[in-house]
Homo-oligomer: A and B are copies of this chain.
Amino acid sequence: MRVKGITAKEKAEQLLRQAEAGEYLLQLRSKKGVSLAQLGEKVGVSANYLSEIERGLKVPSDLLIRELAGYYGTDENIIFKKYGKTPLAAIEEVNDNPTLQKTLTEIRRNKKLTDDQKQELYDKVYELYQEFINKGV
């Protein structure tokens, strides 16, 4: 399988992002006043692994991010964003809806759409959703 090429600069940026996200998780744990061992008990992974995450050496899985956000009572999307990961809730929504899968696949394969047109389309989708819920749904 062809492996996606990554430059040293991209690798460095990724590590810096992980480091910042890890620091954020460390701050949340400090505020909560729990040890790595206590947190590990709660979320079901080892203290050592959590320490690696907080030091930016490892990236938590989507489900672990959800567990951590739930335990700390924070919005999980903040953590997904810090890691540059796509929010799990958005992925789940796609997983559950074949119509949405079909629409997004067609958009993906439509090579005529420019990035600006796609942005315009997705802005319209957001407006459509807003209208849909404001209509008394």
Name A residues whose Cβ lies closer than 8 Å to a Cβ of B.
1-2, 43-45, 63-64, 67, 77, 86-87, 89-95, 97, 99-110, 112-113, 117-119, 121-126, 128-129, 132-133, 137
Contact = CB atoms under 8 A, between A and B. Distances in A.
A58 to B, nearest CB: 14
A77 to B, nearest CB: 6
Given A1-B67, A2-B67, A90-B108, A132 B124 contact: yes
Contacts of A113: 133, 137
B117 A129 contact: no
Contact of A1 (B64, B97, B109, B129): B64
Contacts of A93: 104-105, 107-108
